[in-house]
Amino acid sequence: MKRNRRTLAIGVLVGLVVWGGCGAAEDASPAMNVEVVATQSHDPRAFTQGLEIDGDVLYEGTGLPGASSVRATNRHTGEELARVALPAPYFGEGLTRAGDTLWQLTWKDHTAFARDPRTLAEIGRATYEGEGWGLCTRAGRLVMSDGTDTLTFRDPVTFAPTGSTRLTSNNTARLNELDCAEDGSVYANDWPSDRILRIDPDSGRVLAVIDASGLLPRTAVGMGEDTLNGIAQIPGTDRFLLAGKNWPTTYEVRFVPA
Ligand code: DDQ
């Protein structure tokens, strides 16, 4: 009897450890949904690859060879303040403002364009290894994604790599568009899904998995490339702008527990 009880106790203990371990790896991150607060119209010709709000300015980078651009608009009025086309065949990707520089990635061209944040004129270029997907600025460092489950940190002036973090779960994620939120977390969409991961970039922990599906009614036109691809926190609020490639609408949303 004594022996059986001990065996049972050990069994329960082992069970708890295994169960806890699996939970930590797979489902520890709370699930969240998206609540739409408002909508704005969006240029359906824009193959959106990056979105960021800096003060009153909404920056948007677009992709595709020969159609890549960077735009700055007044986010309150929608007035276009500046627009610059990327030289063909560069394929524009994520962008972020870091001090006096607006950095814009390219997908497979190993080139980041440095721009004047006001005129968007090119003021320099940096090269990097691998692919360029998403970019944001956090605590004086750039955070960059490359379509894997790893984030790379970079110097905001030289663009040189200064470290990296790999996700501790969700390792099949292909991290794409990034937004460095005011609370220090990084929001990343998992391409080509409608999932957004909220990440602690210091530890690589996934803090929440947000289901952003259902925003755009899929019309089954094109190559199915009209994926979610823009995340930008509205400064001083708990709301975010979400956009997508060729979406006719930009959504102002709040993330709520599922
Ligand atoms: N990425 O933004 C997820 C990094 C890449 C999207 C690729 C979309 C391909 C469109 C067709 C390319 C034609 C050269």
Does residue 65 line the site of ligand 1, with CB under 6 A? yes
Task: Take atom 5 of ligand 1 and give the residue whose Cα is closest.
Answer: 107
Q: How far is the CA of 64 from the centre of ligand 1 (A)?
A: 7
pLDDT at residue 5 in the model: 52
3-state secondary structure of 258: coil
pLDDT at residue 77 in the model: 94
Quote the pTM value. Answer: 0.89
Task: Take atom 4 of ligand 1 and give the residue whose Cα is closest.
Answer: 133
3-state secondary structure of 71: strand
Does residue 49 line the site of ligand 1, with CB under 6 A? yes
One DSSP character per residue, 161-188 reads EEEEEE-SS-TT--EEEEEE-TTS-EEE
Does residue 240 line the site of ligand 1, with CB under 6 A? no
Query: Parallel, antiparallel, or unpaired for β 205-211 and 31-41?
Result: parallel
Does residue 91 line the site of ligand 1, with CB under 6 A? no
What distance in Å separates the CA atoms of residue 97 and residue 69, rounded to the nearest whole number? Answer: 16
Those residues with Cβ within 8 angstroms of residue 172's Cβ, 6 or more apart along the chain or in another chain: 149
Strand ranges across the sheet with 101-106: 92-98, 101-106, 111-115, 122-127
In the chain, the percentage of residues whose pLDDT exceeds 70 is 86
What distance in Å separates the CA atoms of residue 86 and residue 71, rounded to the nearest whole number? Answer: 11
Does residue 189 line the site of ligand 1, with CB under 6 A? no
Ligand 1 site-directed mutation target among 64, 148, 246, most atoms within 8 Å of CB: 64
Domains contained in the chain, CATH given: 31-257 (2.130.10.10)
Does residue 47 line the site of ligand 1, with CB under 6 A? no
Q: How far is the CA of 3 from the centre of ligand 1 (A)?
A: 62
Does residue 191 line the site of ligand 1, with CB under 6 A? yes
Q: For the CA atoms of the chain, what is the radius of gyration?
A: 20
pLDDT at residue 131 in the model: 98
| Token representation of residue 181 | 């939120």
- From the CA of 65, give the closest atom in ligand 1: 14
Contact 247, 44 (CB under 8 A): yes
What distance in Å separates the CA atoms of residue 143 and residue 234, rounded to the nearest whole number? Answer: 19
Q: How far is the CA of 136 from the centre of ligand 1 (A)?
A: 20
Does residue 90 line the site of ligand 1, with CB under 6 A? no
Does residue 176 line the site of ligand 1, with CB under 6 A? yes
Residues 147-160 pLDDT 10s: 999 999 999 999 99
pLDDT at residue 226 in the model: 86
- Looking at every residue in the chain, the average pLDDT score rounds to 90
> Which residues of the chain fall below pLDDT 50?
1-3, 7-26, 220
Does residue 89 line the site of ligand 1, with CB under 6 A? no
What distance in Å separates the CA atoms of residue 150 and residue 78, rounded to the nearest whole number? Answer: 34
pLDDT at residue 27 in the model: 53
Cβ-count burial 234-253 (b if 16+ within 10 Å, e if not): beeeebbbbbbbbbeebbbb
Contact 243, 250 (CB under 8 A): yes
Ligand 1 site-directed mutation target among 178, 225, 227, 231, most atoms within 8 Å of CB: 225
